[in-house]
Chain A
Amino acid sequence: MGLGLAGLAAGPCAAGALSISIDTSALAGANGRLDFTLLDGDFTANNSVTIANLTTNGVPSTAAPTTTIDDSAVLGQFLWDFTVGTLVTFDLSFTTDFAGGAPDRLTLNLLDAGTNLTLVDTELDFLSDPVPAQDALLLVDLANGGQVQVAKRTDPPTQVTEVPEAGTAALAALALLALVMTSKSRRAQPRAV
């Protein structure tokens, strides 16, 4: 089933960002199409997604400049055709405004460029959700800072990795350091008898 909606609070929320890496070795040579689709879920035109720094095999794509899609027309879509190599990477940044009901959803599919049928079967199938998705590699529900789902079971094997942003990694490291320091400080205090 899709992402649980319990606990999602309506209202403007902080934007989100992530970097994605996709191992496409098993599909190398295919005429592929990355299909980024933003579907409106909350019946409010309030979100956008920016796709940037698309690379294949580490080489930046000259045919895919930074692109922003939004839900102002209910459906926002960006299609990128490419010859599948061994690795695809890109950055996503997005808003996460939520007006209640179902959150807006970004879906990423890897399709055959000729037929628009999926090249990869995944477990991210939500055919009966308020915002359905099928064989997605990545889902981002635009609420609560961004609820990210990455495909774990793919056929053929197409590992999708969420790469923490440099800023995020630094914050995480600082938080861990703070935790360690706090723990040492407690041990240094004399115990009450």
Chain B
Amino acid sequence: MHAEAIDPRTVRWVLNDAHLTPGKLHLDWEHVEAAWCEVSAIWVRLDEPLWPQLGRDIARRLSELVRTGVLFTSPDPQVVHLVAEHILGAELGDYFRSHGGQVELRGSGPDWVEVSLSGACHSCPAAVLTLQGRIAVALRNRLGEPVEVRKVA
């Protein structure tokens, strides 16, 4: 597994061949404010930016948890929001920018997201392809369930 920094308090731990149940993850660990699961990643948010000190330890414990399969998750629409933002920002952000456009998250629910297209994306003939081909597929891969992508103004 490896770590991807989201913000100073949040790290997304990418697991190679895990298959977790997406949702809110219940971790009763010191300094852990909240945690969520994707299909093969775990998000951990600390109450303070203590990752340099706690990182290794948390990594080991997470790895142990995944190995033993003891993960308690409950469905949480917050996960959809987090993952969608990550896809639009970190994963596809550079791609949109290189085309001169922008796609922003406007809202999300348990099985849907709403995005707005601006810049070159606004009138792009391939917009549907992007929305369904790229974004929706990425969401499905990471959340395990189909997620509807709706375009709003």
Q: Do chains A and B interact in one complex?
A: no
Q: Which residues of B are at the interface with A, using a C-beta cutoff of 8 A?
A: none
